[in-house]
Amino acid sequence: MPSQIENCFRALGESQRTAFMPFITAGDPDMGMTRALIRELSASGVDLIEVGFPYSDPIADGPVIQASYTRALEKQLHVRDIFAGISELDTQSLPPLVAMVSYAIIFRIGAEAFLSQAAQAGFSGMIVPDLPGDEAADFFQLVRAENLDLVQLVAPTTPRERVREILKSCSGFVYCIAVSGTTGVREEIAEELLAQLRWLREETDLPLCVGFGISRPEHIDPLRGLADGAIVGSGIVRHLESLADGDADRETVVKLIGNFAARMSAACHRE
- Residues with catalytic function: 50, 61
Q: Please give the distance of CA 228 from its chain centroid, rounded to a whole number.
A: 14
SS3 77: coil
**Kind and range of the H or E element at 49?**
strand 49-52
Q: Say how many CA atoms lie within 13 Å of 261 toward its Cβ.
A: 30
**Kind and range of the H or E element at 209?**
strand 208-211
Helices (H), 1-159: 4-14, 31-43, 63-73, 79-87, 103-109, 111-121, 136-145
How many other C-beta atoms lie within 10 A of the C-beta of residue 195? 12
Return the HEC string of 117-137.
HHHHHCCCEEECCCCCHHHHH
CB of 176 closer than 8 Å to CB of 209: yes
Helices (H) and strands (E) in the chain, counts: 12, 8
Q: How far apart are CA 58 and CA 74, in angstroms?
A: 15
Candidates 27, 94, 50; CA nearest to 233 is 50
Candidates 40, 26, 156, 169; CA nearest to 84 is 26
